[in-house]
A and B are shown apart, each in its own frame.
Chain A
Amino acid sequence: MTATEVPVPTSPAGNPIGFGRMLRKEDARFLRGQGHYIDDVQLPGMLHAAILRSSYAHARITGIDTSAAEAHPKVKAVITGATLEGLNLAWMPTLSGDVQSVLATDKVRFQGQEVAFVIAEDEYSARDALELIEVDYEPLPAVVDARKALEPDAPVIRDDLEGRTDNRIYDWEAGDKAACDEVFAGAEVVVAEDMLYPRVHPAPMETCGSVAHMDKVTGKLTVWTTTQAPHAHRTLYAIVAGLPEHKIQIISPDIGGGFGNKVGIYPGYVCAVVGSIVTGAPVKWIEDRSENLMSTSFARDYHMHGEIASTREGKILGLRVDVLADHGAFNGVAQPTKYPAGFFHIFTGSYDYPAAHCHVRAVYTNKAPGGVAYACSFRITEAVYLVERMVNCLADELGMDPAELRMKNLLRPEQFPYTTPTGWEYDSGNYPAALEEAMRIAGYEELRREQAERRADPAGKPLMGIGISFFTEGVGAGPRKHMDILGLGMADGCELRVHPTGKAQLRLSVQTQGQGHETTFAQIVSHELGIPPEDIEVIHGDTDNTPFGLGTYGSRSTPVSGAAAAVAAQRVREKARIIAATALECSPDDLEWELGRWQVKGDPEQGKTIPEIAFASHGNLELPEGVEGHLDASVVYNPPNLTYPFGAYICVVDVDPETGEVKVRRFIAVDDCGPRINPMIVEGQIHGGLADGIGMALMEAIAFDPEGNNLGGSFMDYLLPTSLECPSYELGMTVTPSPHHPIGAKGVGESATVGSPPAVVNAVLDALEIRQADMPFTPAVVWRAMQGRPLRTDLAIE
């Protein structure tokens, strides 16, 4: 069943009772400037903090003098690594089993690393005092080029780790290497390419921040903080600081965009907590834009070598890849413990072939820590980029149209559920239908004709390129037996209470950053119970008032928490059936469900609505033995598998051969995320992801100079796409429900971010008639690629 097949009744307020386009509940406050973001938190007596950061990428600290800062009349405290060492808090665990410096003690390991934390009466004074701190640095050679991190004479960055003699973090592989090598040895065609997915940054419009308040009388710590995962943060604070978990309340207020940037715990958050303990007052710390770009979770930075094997006719036989992953100075990626390279080993993509192998080596460099962020679905972004670029390179080698090559190799509908060569079980899909639909919307044949005419005409400027990508995502992490983060299973809780008058409250463990949970989750309950969505209040983002769960990232809210909400509502409906039967003096088996009402089979006049049942459940009705009063349910949903949304994207670009400027003329996106709870919101998610993809392909990258200076430390240097670079998008859809999700929904938050970059890159390279060059395709990069002298986009070197 799909959302569009059944006519949905409307509520008194004009909203769909269930799925369908519904205007967002959260807009009323945002439009009036009444959102409540982290910097809007004001507490009596609150102090303000600022962080002194390292100006060096790699240096030994030989002394810190904070006396002048402490003497500033408005400064209340200065905290350094030495202060934290006394509290055993100078280092904190990362989400990947490494440790990260909270405030530097021995060395600084990247430019922008946290060195000292100043607390003052106001923010301006706190920043003034930063300039009064004297730090003596002894500069060390920096490891900037990831490709040189493993050379024998490379400086050892992590000499804090006992016995560490090099910069290797891990070596990891997936797939059957021997079998894969055999296929390659016998293949008629093998194409190899090196490609970089540059370091980029999620750069949400709101930077990160925290307000910590330790109430010394009650012993309760309350932290308002920019987190996509409030419950995970509470547990980590308990582990890191040794604070009792039942005395910690994490409140995630309105979040001004997350995109993975607000998953981890940053040193500033920990310092705000320490600052509140030290000063006895609430402490607010809000980072500025440069701090956000230079120190918080970046994404990608994957140096990939891919090889693809096929027959001469274009039947793909295998794919193998060797990756060098730059994780920065601390291994701070946020991903399931079992998978150090995230879900990268889903790199076989959407195609049918038996042989695959990947080898990933991760290294430390003198750069900011992170790696998994920016709507990446745990590195599926890099995987999709790799396979979709390699398929295009193969098409180029074979002289075959890239659409035809894809169509020839896409998994067929009857192959689902499909187990990939590296062990993923794709739940459902109809891939050829999605690609056909994208080609139909694009007018693919006509575009190719136009391109041929353009190429035949020497005066036919600008150059025209057409790029395709097809992606399969795996989202909704994840099944308890396979996935945990720091030992915490990736399940989500949900509590649904229907009040006596039939109005409901739904409490979620996930946290919206703009995805519209307050609307769509109400629609899920409305769909199951038949009560209007405006009568359902969604409560989230406060650990004292919501059940435990791992939060919102990796497109997991709908697949995991959405399933929890649906199951909770289904349980309430079943309980309502028993109560209705009691009230109607019949057997529950005699009742049938009509949206919003249990009624007697064959006698629909006899029935009870959910509000009537809700009142009876709280009233004096004698309930059957074993049935408790009230109408509520509590669920912890452990997903049986990931869900696998997919899509086909086509990008058309025009490239000015004289300036290297790329203009995205059209972008066609056909997405299949299963039934759409709120099509308006789904389309909005796709629009945003397409802009992300265009940004990464054309302008976003954080490069470094040879000394390790960050060259993307402001919005003047780190370019985000504006309204002028983004086209008007053309969306299409197919609907293939997930067989194991209670409402068939697959999740869509990251689909377009994952799927769109290779489409843009394939289009630009098609325009240039060049097989390979690395993004971002700024005019300079395009120009150099046209000259046959491609630039390295990760370093400011020749």
Chain B
Amino acid sequence: MQVTITVNGTETRAEVEPRLLLVHYLRNVLGLRGTHWGCDTSNCGACTVWLDGVPVKSCTTLAAQADGHAVRTVEDLDSGGELDPLQQAFMEEHGLQCGFCTPGMLMTLRALLDRDPDPDEATIREAISGNLCRCTGYENIVRAARHAAAHPTTAPEEISA
């Protein structure tokens, strides 16, 4: 079947199998490999992307379900290389280690901050309860979300890697 999906503001079109998962459409058809696949069962959230502005688990969403809709992925968060304030906050607060869950965490928390610019710790923990992380114990992810709320505009990147 043919799908037409607006991804990160650009219309994409492809002939796909009806069973193709959205995560595989993004990764394998479009080559957007920032979205990770982690569990098959919607539990881990590494595959979280936005569908019409709402975070969804792309491992249990069919590409066909996104036909005619807009998807946003982690690749769209920074603009011209400049990090989104949330990305910057993750760096400042050491909110990531292996980096595998990070794209999903970012998409979940960006959506939270867009609707609630100043969430408290409990709200943040509730928001990311569908995103698993094995490295950070969540502490610094929560701090990063608070940091982003306190610094809603991007500061210059602090290291030259």
Q: Which residues of A contact B (CB under 8 A)?
A: 13-15, 22-35, 37, 39-40, 124, 202-207, 254-259, 288-290, 513-516, 534, 680-681, 683-684, 687-692, 714-716, 720, 722-724, 726, 728-729
CB-CB < 8 A to A40: which residues of B?
A: 33
Report the bound CA distance from A681 to B98 in whole Å: 12
Closest chain B residue to A690, Cβ basis: B137
Contact: B91 with A23, CB < 8 Å? yes
Residue in A32, A206, A726 whose CB lies within 8 Å of B139: A726
Closest chain A residue to B104, Cβ basis: A205
Q: A205 and B44 in contact (CB under 8 A), knowing A30-B99, A33-B74, A715-B132?
A: yes
Contact: B133 with A13, CB < 8 Å? no
With most chain B CB atoms within 10 A of its CB, the pick from A39, A259, A722, A726 is A722
Residue in A203, A684, A714, A723 whose CB lies within 8 Å of B142: A723
Q: A203 and B134 in contact (CB under 8 A), knowing A714-B39, A723-B142?
A: yes
CB-CB < 8 A to B20: which residues of A?
A: 124
B41 within 8 A of A: yes
Report the bound CA distance from A507 to B123 in whole Å: 43
Report the bound CA distance from A30 to B144 in whole Å: 15
Report the bound CA distance from A288 to B32 in whole Å: 20
**1/0 contact trace for B112-156 toward A, CB 8 Å?**
000000000100111011111111111111100000000000000
Contact: B159 with A534, CB < 8 Å? yes
Contact: A688 with B132, CB < 8 Å? no
Report the bound CA distance from A444 to B106 in whole Å: 38
Contact: B132 with A27, CB < 8 Å? no
Q: A684 and B159 in contact (CB under 8 A), knowing A33-B75, A289-B39?
A: no
| Nearest CB in chain A: distance from B148 CB, A | 12
B51 within 8 A of A: no
Q: A206 and B98 in contact (CB under 8 A), knowing A289-B39, A714-B39?
A: yes
B58 within 8 A of A: no
B50 within 8 A of A: no
CB-CB < 8 A to A714: which residues of B?
A: 39-41, 43
CB-CB < 8 A to A687: which residues of B?
A: 136-140
Q: A39 and B37 in contact (CB under 8 A), knowing A33-B103, A684-B94?
A: yes
CB-CB < 8 A to A29: which residues of B?
A: 99
Contact: A124 with B98, CB < 8 Å? no
Contact: A24 with B94, CB < 8 Å? yes
CB-CB < 8 A to A202: which residues of B?
A: 134
Closest chain B residue to A13, Cβ basis: B160
Closest chain A residue to B107, Cβ basis: A33
**A-B pairs with lowest CB-CB distance, top 6:** A33-B34, A30-B99, A514-B98, A256-B100, A691-B137, A514-B97
| Nearest CB in chain B: distance from A774 CB, A | 23
Closest chain A residue to B78, Cβ basis: A32
| Nearest CB in chain B: distance from A617 CB, A | 25
CB-CB < 8 A to B101: which residues of A?
A: 205
CB-CB < 8 A to B100: which residues of A?
A: 35, 37, 204-206, 256-257
CB-CB < 8 A to B90: which residues of A?
A: 27, 31
Q: Which residues of B contact A (CB under 8 A)?
A: 17, 19-20, 27, 32-41, 43-44, 46, 73-75, 77-78, 83, 87, 90-92, 94, 96-103, 106, 121, 124-126, 128-142, 157-161
Report the bound CA distance from A720 to B136 in whole Å: 13
CB<8 Å pairs between A and B, sample of 27: A13-B158, A24-B94, A25-B159, A26-B99, A28-B157, A28-B159, A28-B161, A30-B102, A31-B102, A205-B36, A205-B100, A205-B101, A206-B98, A256-B99, A257-B98, A257-B100, A513-B98, A681-B94, A684-B94, A687-B139, A688-B97, A688-B135, A692-B134, A722-B128, A723-B131, A728-B139, A729-B139
Q: A724 and B87 in contact (CB under 8 A), knowing A257-B134, A689-B137?
A: no
Q: A26-B161, A35-B100, A257-B97 are in contact. List 12 more A-B contacts (CB 8 A).
A: A14-B158, A31-B90, A31-B102, A33-B35, A205-B38, A206-B38, A289-B40, A684-B140, A688-B134, A688-B136, A691-B138, A723-B141
| Nearest CB in chain A: distance from B39 CB, A | 4
Report the bound CA distance from A22 to B161 in whole Å: 11
Report the bound CA distance from A723 to B41 in whole Å: 18
| Nearest CB in chain B: distance from A524 CB, A | 17
Contact: A33 with B138, CB < 8 Å? no
Contact: A13 with B159, CB < 8 Å? yes
CB-CB < 8 A to B136: which residues of A?
A: 684, 687-688, 691
Contact: B134 with A204, CB < 8 Å? yes
Contact: A724 with B134, CB < 8 Å? no
CB-CB < 8 A to A691: which residues of B?
A: 133-134, 136-138
Contact: A726 with B135, CB < 8 Å? no
| Nearest CB in chain B: distance from A532 CB, A | 10
With most chain A CB atoms within 10 A of its CB, the pick from B19, B40, B99 is B99
Closest chain B residue to A14, Cβ basis: B158
CB-CB < 8 A to A28: which residues of B?
A: 91, 157, 159, 161
Contact: B159 with A720, CB < 8 Å? no
| Nearest CB in chain B: distance from A403 CB, A | 24
Residue in A15, A32, A715 whose CB lies within 8 Å of B41: A715
Report the bound CA distance from A24 to B88 in whole Å: 12
Q: A534 and B142 in contact (CB under 8 A), knowing A23-B91, A27-B91?
A: no
| Nearest CB in chain A: distance from B82 CB, A | 11
Contact: A728 with B121, CB < 8 Å? yes
Contact: A205 with B46, CB < 8 Å? yes
CB-CB < 8 A to A534: which residues of B?
A: 159-161
Contact: A205 with B98, CB < 8 Å? yes
Contact: B40 with A31, CB < 8 Å? no
Closest chain A residue to B33, Cβ basis: A40
CB-CB < 8 A to B138: which residues of A?
A: 687, 691, 722-723, 726
CB-CB < 8 A to A27: which residues of B?
A: 90-91, 96, 99, 161
Contact: B96 with A289, CB < 8 Å? no
Closest chain A residue to B20, Cβ basis: A124
CB-CB < 8 A to B140: which residues of A?
A: 684, 687
CB-CB < 8 A to B44: which residues of A?
A: 205, 289, 715
CB-CB < 8 A to A256: which residues of B?
A: 36, 38, 98-100
CB-CB < 8 A to A32: which residues of B?
A: 34, 74-75, 77-78, 83, 87
Residue in A37, A203, A290, A516 whose CB lies within 8 Å of B97: A516
Report the bound CA distance from A418 to B134 in whole Å: 35
CB-CB < 8 A to A15: which residues of B?
A: 159
CB-CB < 8 A to A722: which residues of B?
A: 128-130, 132, 138
Contact: B132 with A23, CB < 8 Å? no
Contact: B137 with A688, CB < 8 Å? yes
Q: A30 and B129 in contact (CB under 8 A), knowing A23-B158, A256-B36?
A: no
CB-CB < 8 A to B141: which residues of A?
A: 723
Report the bound CA distance from A722 to B140 in whole Å: 13
Contact: A720 with B36, CB < 8 Å? no
CB-CB < 8 A to A680: which residues of B?
A: 94
Closest chain B residue to A686, Cβ basis: B137
CB-CB < 8 A to A203: which residues of B?
A: 134
With most chain B CB atoms within 10 A of its CB, the pick from A14, A33, A37, A290 is A33
CB-CB < 8 A to B41: which residues of A?
A: 289, 714-716
Contact: A288 with B125, CB < 8 Å? no
| Nearest CB in chain A: distance from B16 CB, A | 11
Report the bound CA distance from A255 to B100 in whole Å: 8
Contact: A259 with B134, CB < 8 Å? yes
| Nearest CB in chain A: distance from B63 CB, A | 12
Closest chain A residue to B124, Cβ basis: A723
| Nearest CB in chain A: distance from B50 CB, A | 14
Residue in A13, A207, A724 whose CB lies within 8 Å of B125: A724
Contact: A33 with B96, CB < 8 Å? no
CB-CB < 8 A to B98: which residues of A?
A: 204-206, 254-258, 513-514
